[in-house]
Amino acid sequence: MVEPDNLRHTKIALNNGSGAIPALGFGTLIPDPIATRNATNAALQAGFRALDTAERYRNEKEVGAAMQEVFKAGKIRREELFVAAKLWNTNHRPERVRPAFEASLEKLQVDYVDLYLIHTPFAFRPGDEQDPRDASGKVIYDQAVTLLDTWRAMEALVDEGKCKAIGLSDVSLEHVKGIFGAARIKPAVVHVESHPYLPEWELLEYCRNNGIVLQAFAALGHSGEPKLLDDPVIAAVARRVNKTSAQVLLAWGIQRGTALLTTSTTPSRIKENFDVSTLPENAMREINEGIKLRVRLNTVVETGVPGFIPRAN
Ligand SMILES: NC(=O)c1ccc[n+]([C@@H]2O[C@H](COP(=O)([O-])OP(=O)(O)OC[C@H]3O[C@@H](n4cnc5c(N)ncnc54)[C@H](OP(=O)(O)O)[C@@H]3O)[C@@H](O)[C@H]2O)c1
């Protein structure tokens, strides 16, 4: 049995004095627009105060509408919410960064974002087609721009104050080191897949040592196979502390010092996922030492093609 406590309200300070990120965040990778709006609204009502959005999810308008609903009802103020957006692969050329950023602000109906991430380190052919392919179906990359060129344009957005912090997503430790070494404004957040089957301890240690927050996506394993929620170690801890497997996985992520993201379109699960409490030290040890399986669920880090978003064609 674990007692209710303040774990769910944990915030982690960001570098450069750029505020603090709620550790427990809600992701909006939800293909259906109506489901996006309802789930985002339910997440805000349940207590989530961090939203992860992306141009590539093609639902920023619906997330924006859900935020407006709670703002207008006087339930939450904009300053109480941490909103993150992401720059898509087709907008890596420096001159495309600002227009893409401004389009996101407009769709989200906000004046600033708390965090802007480069969605992946892969630049695709610039243009309106988010998934450009050649005649044989191969992705068309853009060799004319480097990740550092894009980073410089991200830094300019921070200078103008419309974006409080910037970060990287779907990157390797080598990418992070490269940008960290060259950046004028250091990455505040590194956003990658992470859960007990992919703990990313080395990356987490590098981030910790350099004042970067690691934000884990697919914190519950994205309902993929093998099912993390059915893992026997997680299930045993859950029974012992009288919580669900999802609550154990989320608490584990917060307690080891990461921010994390979970997503659900099911109202009862959204509430369940915010209702987390601190696990005892022996449960943390059991998960860290007892789970040996290593699985990456999303191959986006290899190609820049999102593994969890169905292709339109
Ligand atoms: N940068 C990137 O490349 C990248 C990639 C992937 C994700 N992300 C971000 O990270 C967010 C989270 O990732 P994710 O969607 O993989 O999260 P996740 O929470 O690991 O997986 C979501 C899945 O788990 C189910 N679920 C949620 N809560 C549950 C519970 N309490 N019990 C049982 N099943 C539960 C959901 O089902 P129902 O909806 O049916 O309830 C959904 O199928 C995304 O929304 C997105 O914002 C970023």
State how far the Cα of 262 lies from the Cα of 123, in Å rounded to an integer.
Answer: 26
pLDDT of residue 3: 86
On whether the pTM is more than 0.75, the answer is yes
Question: Over 78-114, what HEC string results?
Answer: HHHCEEEEEECHHHCCHHHHHHHHHHHHHHHCCCCEC
pLDDT of residue 288: 98
Q: Considering only CA atoms, which of 98, 104, 117 is closest in space to residue 159?
A: 98
State how far the Cα of 272 lies from the Cα of 33, in Å rounded to an integer.
Answer: 23
- CB contact burial 93-106 (16+ within 10 A = b; e otherwise): beebbbebbeebbe
Examine the residue annotation and report whether 116 is marked as an active-site residue of this protein: no
Output the CA angle 26-304-92, nearest 5 degrees: 90
The best mutation among 130, 264, 301 to test binding of ligand 1, ranked by most ligand atoms within 8 Å of the C-beta, falls on 264
Compute CA distances 184 → 14, 93, 132, 231, whole Å.
Answer: 16, 18, 32, 43
Compute CA distances 169 → 54, 227, 255, whole Å.
Answer: 11, 24, 21
Specify the ligand 1 atom closest to the Cα of 246: 31
Residues of the chain with pLDDT under 50: none
**Ligand 1, CB within 6 Å, residue ranges:** 27-29, 52, 119, 169-170, 191, 217-223, 229, 246, 261-266, 269, 272-273, 298, 300, 306, 308
pLDDT of residue 313: 53
Quote the longest CA-to-CA distance of the chain. 58
The best mutation among 120, 248, 261 to test binding of ligand 1, ranked by most ligand atoms within 8 Å of the C-beta, falls on 261
Phi, psi of 184 (to 5 degrees): -80, -45
Phi, psi of 137 (to 5 degrees): 90, 5
pLDDT of residue 67: 98
Radius of gyration of the chain (CA): 19
